[in-house]
Amino acid sequence: MRIVDLLKREAVVLNADVSSKEEMLDLLVDLHDKAGNISDKAEFKKGILKRESEGATAIAEGICIPHSKNDAVQNPGIASITVPGGIDCDALDGEPSNLFFMIAAPATGADVHLEALARLSSILMDGSFREQLFAAKNVDEYLKAIDDKETEKYGEEDAKAAQEEAPAAAAAPAASGYRVLAVTACPTGIAHTYMAAEALEEKGKELGIPIKVETNGSGGAKNILTAEEIANCDGIIIAADKNVEMARFDGKPLIKTKVQDGIHKSQELIEKVVNGEAPIYHHTGEAAAEEGEGEGIGRQIYKHLMNGVSHMLPFVIGGGILIALAFLIDNPEPAANFGKNTPAAAILKTAGEYAFNFMLPILAGYIAMSIADRPGLMPGFVGGWMAAQGTSFASIIAQVSGAEVNPVSGGFIGALFAGFIAGYLVLGLKKITEKMPQSMDGLRPMLIYPVLGLALIMVVMFAVNPFFAWLNTLLANGLESLSKGNNIILLGAILGGMMSVDMGGPFNKAAYVFATGALAWQTDAGYMVMAAVMVGGMVPPIAIAISSWAFKSKFSDNDRANSPVNAIMGLCFISEAAIPYAAGDPLHVIPSCVIGSAVAGALSMLFKCTLMAPHGGVFVFAVVGNAVMYIVSLLVGSIVGAVLLGVLRKPVAK
């Protein structure tokens, strides 16, 4: 539909006498009412103000396009005014706005406002055209200038559309060519993201329904959906286990579900969309409100956690591999400085350690961002750093008084806590400040959220860090007591099993921190602890890979295709490679891996294998004491885990 078809003469005022944003909005709402576009002024204005609260609609170059898709709109339309003196509307370029178009779109039906927005934004960027609008002596000249410019820009496109619409073709596909659009995303962005995309695309071909799928993978978003495609499609499927950008889908029929459903229920999802069974999606602007109706608290927490984990993984993998390479090329003597005894090794290990230092802040920051959107990132990031440092009120006061202070890190558990608390604190600030005057909206993201968010997370983390430090110390002391006497094999089994309980989570990190601390003992017992922990952490990805090769009917084709990568990551001591499998089938994968890792850890202790390096996987086997039996321990543990997994799992439906 053309702009001039939506813009009636009675909805245009040139050289309007308004001096504030509120007066401008009131006048445009009145013009819509006068033109018969809306049935309820108050309800329509409420929608306009809600959209303004989510972000300024003033673009730049004096242009402002407020809009609302609203139940109060009975006829789609545009109202326009010019204000030569200009008024402040928080434009992106900081300049006053003087040319206004307010779009009113019905809550249901085609997305008229998206096409109108696109056309207006395009033609209004022409400076000479804007000058022509201001030079118009009356409304007729104003409308003619718009009509001429739109014909110049879109004449051929409009003519072609009119030809195509002439025959009665109610069932014809949307103009974009796609009836259904989809977005797929999994926490790691490696396997399930693309499996779901492939399943949806293949099922679309089978059903004869054109479909396009955007993948939010580890390398970023690919095959991105365009505004035109969104405007013209029948509906959208979001098959994701982490948050994706949702504002663009406002007003469209939309189904939001798990990434697994995209793989296993692709036909059901597509048919719901084309049969008109998908509910209309209304964007709220609040991340926590975008979870989808009927989603449980547990799943919400899982999605927030996985958002943090997916952003943390590159730091773990990149840093871990560089540290492993440092150990591979370094001179093992002196042992206390192993990894930095030569310049090349020191360079690699330093860079790897820098990446590891970001691990906890990134985890907490992106958990908080998943909960509260971008305002949650900074408080979460800083809260994660506070947890890592173990800073408390007492330690700061002691430091000020001149005492020597050695805070104990709150570790992985503290960072998880910081991420969730920061996210919900900022979400609370959003709710509290919703009632602020509209003129102060700009202060919320620029001043209120960062300052109060940081102050609140500071108070919370400085208060609770001693508890998390105590908890970490308690875990370490409990594990150390097992290393005395005849409990060394039991200790190996416990430490190895802990490495597989959550594959990079609190149990895994508690065992790893204990092992790295044991290196400071500079005894064979300490080196044996480190060896047991590393072999236990290597087992899960390797066991899954072996199981997928030996029990082919129990794994999908895509799972088997990914197994070589899984095996390689396991050999590099990257337990997190098993997370997608554990998340998809926890009742079978986790127990199998825990038992396999426990067997490997116990055997490593039994054979008195030692390891002075805190990381590295196969790259540091050269410095392992009793390396042959260490390899045997790894193989036996991996095979035990693989067999258990193969026996426990049911065949995969083809």
Positions marked active-site: 67, 186
The answer to whether 557 and 654 have CB atoms below 8 angstroms apart is: no
The Cβ-side half-sphere exposure at 224, using a 13 Å CA radius, reads 9
Q: Which two tokens stand for residue 84?
A: 């030569």
Rounded to 5°, the CA angle 196-198-201 comes to 110
- DSSP alpha helix (H) spans, 136-290: 139-165, 192-207, 227-232, 259-264, 266-274
The Cβ-side half-sphere exposure at 94, using a 13 Å CA radius, reads 0
Judged by DSSP in three states, 218 sits in: coil
* Residue located via tokens 């970490």: 472
Which residue, among 25, 55, 21, has the nearest Cα to 41 in the 3D structure?
25
Phi, psi of 324, deg, nearest 5: -60, -40
| CA 129 centroid distance within chain | 41
d(CA 415, CA 432): 26
The Cβ-side half-sphere exposure at 213, using a 13 Å CA radius, reads 28
Q: Which two tokens stand for residue 62?
A: 């004096």
Which residue, among 575, 526, 543, has the nearest Cα to 648 in the 3D structure?
543
- DSSP alpha helix (H) spans, 54-207: 112-124, 127-135, 139-165, 192-207
The Cβ-side half-sphere exposure at 133, using a 13 Å CA radius, reads 28
d(CA 492, CA 87): 71
Torsion of CA 592, 596, 597, 601, to 10 degrees: 150
| CA 599 centroid distance within chain | 36
Torsion of CA 561, 563, 565, 566, to 10 degrees: 150
d(CA 531, CA 617): 10
Neighbouring CB atoms inside 10 A of 190's CB total 20
Residues 6+ apart with CB under 8 A from 398: 405
Q: Which two tokens stand for residue 516?
A: 């790295």
Which residue, among 105, 569, 539, 61, has the nearest Cα to 318 in the 3D structure?
569
